[in-house]
Structure formats: C-alpha cells, structure tokens
Homo-oligomer: A and B are copies of this chain.
Amino acid sequence: MKENSQITGPYVIGLDLGGTNSVFGIVDAKGDIRKTTAIKTTGFKCARDYVIACIEALKPVIEEVGGIQSIKAMGIGAPNGNYYRGTIEYAPNLPWAHDEVVPLAEMFSHELGIPVALTNDANAAAIGEMTYGVARGMKNFIVLTLGTGVGSGIVVNGKLLYGSNGFAGELGHVIVRHENGRSCGCGRKGCLETYCSATGVARTAREILESDPRPSLLRQLDPQKITSLDVSLAAERNDAIALEIYRFTGHLLGEACADFAAFSAPEAFIFFGGMTKAGDLIMNPIKEGYEEHVLPLFKDMRFLVSGLEGSSAAVLGASAVGWELLNN
C-alpha cells in the first residue's frame, strides 16, 4: 500500500498476551496504533511453537511499516510475567507456560533482533496509563484491573514497583476476609480477587439472590450461569439486587484501597476492566467503602476509570513497556 511505504517509524511492537488471544500492535511514539494483527494464544504444544506462529503473523505487518529497521523494541504484557527475568512463570491459564518458566522476552528478541521487555498484564496497564492515559504526570498511583481475576500495577516515584523478585503488586491476593473468606484459585481463602473479579461478582450475585428476598431481573437466570455482565445489565435497569451486588463489591474494594493507601500513599486509584463500565454504580460504592475505612492522612484521593478502555488499551500498555526500554 502506498500510504504505508511512507511510514518510517520509529515504532514499537506491543503484544497483549491474553489467555485466549494474542493481540499485536505496531505503535508509534505518540501512542497511535498503526497496524494490528492477532493469533490465538492456545493450541500450541510448546512456547517455541507459539513464538514461531507469532513471528509468522508479525512478518507482513512489519513489512508494511517499513521493515524491522523501523521497529526499535517490543513490549509484552502477559499473565505471570516477570519483568526482571523477561519470563512467564507457571501461568495457570497458558497451557504452554503452565508448569514452567518460559523466557519469552529472550525468545522474541532472538527471532526479531530487537530488545524485548515483558511484564505482567496489570503492570503493562499501569505503564500504559502513565504514558497515554489518565495517569500522565502522576508519580504515585495504583492501577487495579478487574477482570477474570484482580491484578494490580503499583507506581511509586514514577516507576513501576517490581520488588525484590519482580512480582510486587499482587493485590488481588491480599486477604480481605480473615473469617469465612471465600476459597481462591491460589489455594488460600479470603483474597480480594474472590470478591472483586468478574467471577467474584457472579458469586456475590448467587449469594445475595439466596439471602435477599426482593424481586430481581436476575431471578430469571440460572443462578449457576449468572455472569458479571448480567449483573451490569440489571444494574443499569436499576435492579435493586444488582445494585446491592455492586454496593457490596465496591465497599469491599474501597476498604481494600484504604489499606493500600496506608502502604504507598498514592494520589489516585485507577480502575481498569469491564466492571468499570458500570460507572458511578460501582465507583460510588468504592468511594464510600474507602472513606469509611481510610486513615484521615489519606482522605484526599482520586478514583479514576482507565483512560485506555477498549480493545487497544492492553496493546498500548504493552507497547509502553517497549518504549520504556528505549528510554532507560
């Protein structure tokens, strides 16, 4: 295409490596995604096969933007990603990285001949917010990703907090209920994720439908099949039970944020993921839960919804990890 032959970069490849799809974007320095491509993440016997398939998918789009010379780096956001080591480690939802440590950054770097950085998906979201989103100009903030699980990226003094082993910021697994806590996939009980993930919201829905006798649109559904999307749709229609589910979820999340504030004194919490589409229906209970539980020292707090919502958010976040590599 003529238009593309004029493109010279510099660009960075962003890879949003999800449990189902792997989405690539070729991103310019302004944060515009110039080209995208995608493959399924699953169906590969080993990480090597996955990387080969990725390279095959990338080749034509790389050519379209002027060849590999115009690409300066690659950034990957992946579950259980370790920034220090450039690895994916024991990722429960990735068959080819389930029981092992996969040096994915090195594998891509070897194939493409460019530097590659990898971090976990929530950290990529935090870097994306700082580079292109609502956290521009902020030095201290926490991103919470509310999806199948609850992830977090913590920024301190303008830098992602990785800690001693690269795994800092596992706030989805902070224990928020010490008595009768819900069982978590991690093997423990009472983790934040068991309440505030999409799965947690569905579970809360089933519990409240059983204990609260009020009528609800949700009663038309098979309780075992209720999803957080069902709750969201009912809440939008002012369904009392759905609103109660959000109230419970938001209060608990706000309460957890009060403890997180005592840790790193951020200037804002930024929420990312499907649940934030509910807007004030979830954000107001979060603020209420926070205000009820926070130390006066941390009263002044901003609660924001990601400025990068949509399918491109995670790709932009991943690309920002690549740009960061060039700037350090």
- A binding-site residues for B, Cβ under 8 Å: 139-140, 154, 156-157, 159, 161-171, 173-179, 186-188, 255, 258-260, 262-267, 293, 295-298, 300
Contact = CB atoms under 8 A, between A and B. Distances in A.
B263 A162 contact: no
Contacts of A170: 262-263, 295, 297-298
A164 B265 contact: yes
A17 to B, nearest CB: 19
Given A174-B259, A259-B175, A293-B175, A264 B168 contact: yes
B186 A295 contact: yes
Nearest to A165: B265
A259 B170 CA distance: 9
Nearest to A263: B263
Contact of A175 (B157, B258, B265): B258
A143 to B, nearest CB: 14
Given A186-B295, A186-B296, 8 more contacts: A140-B164, A157-B159, A163-B265, A165-B297, A169-B265, A170-B295, A170-B297, A263-B264
- Of listed A139, A163, A165, A167, residue having the most chain B CB within 10 A: A163
B163 A266 contact: yes
